[in-house]
Homo-oligomer: A and B are copies of this chain.
Amino acid sequence: MVRQARSEATRKRIIISAVQLFTEIGYAAASLGDIIERAEMTKGALYYHFDSKEALATAIIEEGSEMMFGVFNRIRDSSAPAMERIIHGCFLVGDLLRTDMVARSGTHLLRAFGEYNDSAGRIYDRWIDEMSARVLEAMQEGDLRPGLDHRAVGETIVSAMLGAELLSNSTSSGADVLARLARIWEVLLPAVVTDDALGYFRQFLARESMRHTTEATDGDAAG
């Protein structure tokens, strides 16, 4: 057990060192040698866990995705209306992206190497599945416009969120991701919810947006 815990700690240290280097100088520029030096360990220790830089990238993608699904799926057990839970879940994911280096790095790697990594299609399809399932619940609760296809709505929400992350990352190093989410949701809401429910969900969005943006600013001031 002690040996297993030590091995897990080593693996974690390698991942953190790789994430730091990928964030600082980019994936292409960081060599396994750089990562070994940053993690202060031997080549053997690194190769015991990861046989290539690609394997390391895949591990970061998988860990980051699991954290993000974990956070998004917290909304499953709530008794709140599904549409509230969807909006809240998007902000929770945005918070995680802002505050967690592994989640952020995993998202970048997934976006950059999706076409050469088998897990990318699977992870993105799972996002659309999870989102569409929540949209179907909102539909069954009577909050959505009649005639919508829940899969198309789920795909649209996921597409817009992915685009927001990409834009935020390129224009502000990810700092404005929550503000972008809020603006996009304001535009999307009337496409999705009924005219009767629009006022209610707009208020919910405004509160959610203010709460997360304030927390983000407090966090920045404290850090």
Binding site for B on A (CB under 8 A): 25-29, 53, 108, 110-116, 120-121, 124-125, 128, 145, 148-149, 152-153, 155-156, 158-164, 166-167, 169-171, 173, 180, 183-184, 186-192
| Contact of B115 with A170 in the complex, beta carbons under 8 Å | yes
Contacts A28-B113, A121-B170, A188-B191 given; 15 further ones with Cβ under 8 A? A27-B28, A29-B116, A111-B112, A112-B112, A120-B171, A128-B167, A145-B190, A149-B183, A152-B183, A155-B167, A159-B162, A159-B164, A160-B160, A163-B166, A191-B191
Q: Among the interface residues A166, A184, A186, which one has the most CB atoms of the partner chain B within 10 A?
A: A166
| Contact of B26 with A124 in the complex, beta carbons under 8 Å | no
When distances are taken between beta carbons in the complex, the residues of chain B under 8 Å from A171 are 120-121, 124-125
The contact sample of 13 A-B pairs, CB cut-off 8 A, is A26-B115, A28-B28, A115-B169, A120-B170, A124-B167, A155-B167, A155-B184, A156-B187, A156-B188, A158-B163, A159-B159, A162-B163, A189-B191
| Contact of A184 with B169 in the complex, beta carbons under 8 Å | no
| Contact of B170 with A163 in the complex, beta carbons under 8 Å | no
| Contact of B148 with A159 in the complex, beta carbons under 8 Å | no
> A105 CB to closest chain B CB, in angstroms?
11
| Contact of A152 with B186 in the complex, beta carbons under 8 Å | yes
User: Complex: how many Å from CA A193 to CA B91?
Assistant: 27
When distances are taken between beta carbons in the complex, the residues of chain B under 8 Å from A25 are 116
| Contact of B190 with A190 in the complex, beta carbons under 8 Å | yes
The 5 A-B pairs at the shortest CB distance, nearest first, are namely A159-B163, A191-B191, A112-B112, A114-B170, A162-B163
| Contact of B167 with A160 in the complex, beta carbons under 8 Å | no
Residue of B nearest to A171 (CB): B121
User: Complex: how many Å from CA A124 to CA B186?
Assistant: 21
User: Complex: how many Å from CA A163 to CA B188?
Assistant: 15
When distances are taken between beta carbons in the complex, the residues of chain B under 8 Å from A164 are 159
When distances are taken between beta carbons in the complex, the residues of chain B under 8 Å from A187 are 148, 152-153, 156, 191-192
